[in-house]
Amino acid sequence: MTTESPARPGRVDTGARIDKETHIDKDTLRRRYAEERDKRLRPDGNDQYLRLTGELARYLDDPYTPWTERAPRTDHRTVVCVGGGFAGLVTGARLAEAGVDVRIIEKGGGFGGTWYWNRYPGAQCDTASMVYLPLLEETGHMPTEKYVHGPEILAHCQRIGRQFGLYDDVLFHTEVTALTWDEARTRWVIQTSRGDRLTATFVVLGTGPLSVPKLPGSRGSARSGGTRSTPAGGTTTTPAAPQRTFRARRCTSSPISAWASSAPGRPRSSACRICPGTAGSFTCSSGRRHR
């Protein structure tokens, strides 16, 4: 049995009810959740994280798979998938199954995407495995837990790669750096970090959001040595970074605007915003001097 709670001034009446049997005050509960959420919503958003430039650029390196040299390629595929996570794997698997020549290009040294990069202890999915893991019936894999851990998900990605022959034509440790539409030849020209100049009739972008480590911009976060688990990039042993780079202040340059402004053809931004609350001068991770 429930009863209406009175609307409060300044708030939208959400129709919250107090359950007379369980005595749960849903309105209070909602308010507490909202308060906790608000604590985590910061005006600086993604700016709270350090940009992985300079000394921190090493966190972008792949610690899991040795680098192998190869000659630049110039060949053509009907479909190229950028990214070897779930998106690239499922697209690649279904296209390969349909007989389409498809190639995956992946920055990391293996399939898995999020689950290739994120290997910190205890990482697991929070959507039920049966729903979350793709191509279970096709591969015959039965998840061992309701919320399986990272290594099992990574192994499943590799299973998909093997079963659908995606390893045969993949380019690992290769970052797509430019996509240009060639109108005359009606195909995409794909440039990469390995000097490739490939072409494709169709390009599928499955680049995902969680393959780049986010380092907290908190005091001393990048200064002290030791072992750290990063949201992406796994557990990493960090040697002490020079004090000059991190004087215990947040880098407040927006990674998004910095990225956009440094994109080809766009003027480079010289603006660097400073977080409310920071005072004094310091050098941020972008190398700029804040005053």
Ligand X SMILES: Cc1cc2nc3c(=O)[nH]c(=O)nc-3n(C[C@H](O)[C@H](O)[C@H](O)COP(=O)(O)OP(=O)(O)OC[C@H]3O[C@@H](n4cnc5c(N)ncnc54)[C@H](O)[C@@H]3O)c2cc1C
Per DSSP, the residues of the chain read -EEEPPPPTTS-----EEETTT--BHHHHHHHHHHHHHHH--TTGGGGEEP--GGGGGGGS-SSS----------EEEEEEE--SHHHHHHHHHHHHTT--EEEE-SSSSS-THHHH---TT-B-SS-HHHHSTTHHHHT---SSSS-BHHHHHHHHHHHHHHTTGGGG-B-S--EEEEEEETTTTEEEEEETTS-EEEEEEEEE---SSSS--EE-STTTTTS-EEEEETTTEEEEEPPPPTTT-SS----S-HHHHHHHTSTTSPPP------TT--S-EE-TTSPEE-
Q: Which is nearer to ligand X, 136 or 272 (CB)?
A: 136
Is position 171 an interface residue for ligand X (rule: CB under 6 A)?
A: no
Q: Does the protein bind ligand X through residue 93 (CB under 6 A)? A: no
Nearer to ligand X, 16 or 153 (CB): 153
For the bound state, the minimum distance from the C-beta of residue 114 to ligand X, rounded and expressed in Å, comes to 3
What is the smallest separation between the CB atom of 90 and ligand X, expressed in angstroms? Answer: 8
Q: Least distance (Å) from ligand X to the CB of residue 116? A: 6
Instruction: State the binding string over 41-70 for ligand X (x if CB under 6 A, else -).
Output: ------------------------------
| 263 binds ligand X, rule: CB under 6 A | no
148 in contact with ligand X (CB under 6 A) = no
Residue 126 is a binding residue for ligand X (CB under 6 A): yes
Q: Does 164 bind ligand X (CB under 6 A)?
A: no
The one segment of 34-42, 78-86, 182-190, 265-273 that binds ligand X by CB under 6 A = 78-86
Residue from 54, 63, 134, 208 in contact with ligand X (CB under 6 A):
208
Which residues of the shown chain bind ligand X in the complex (CB under 6 A)? 82-88, 105-108, 113-114, 116, 118, 123, 125-127, 132, 175-176, 206-208, 210-211
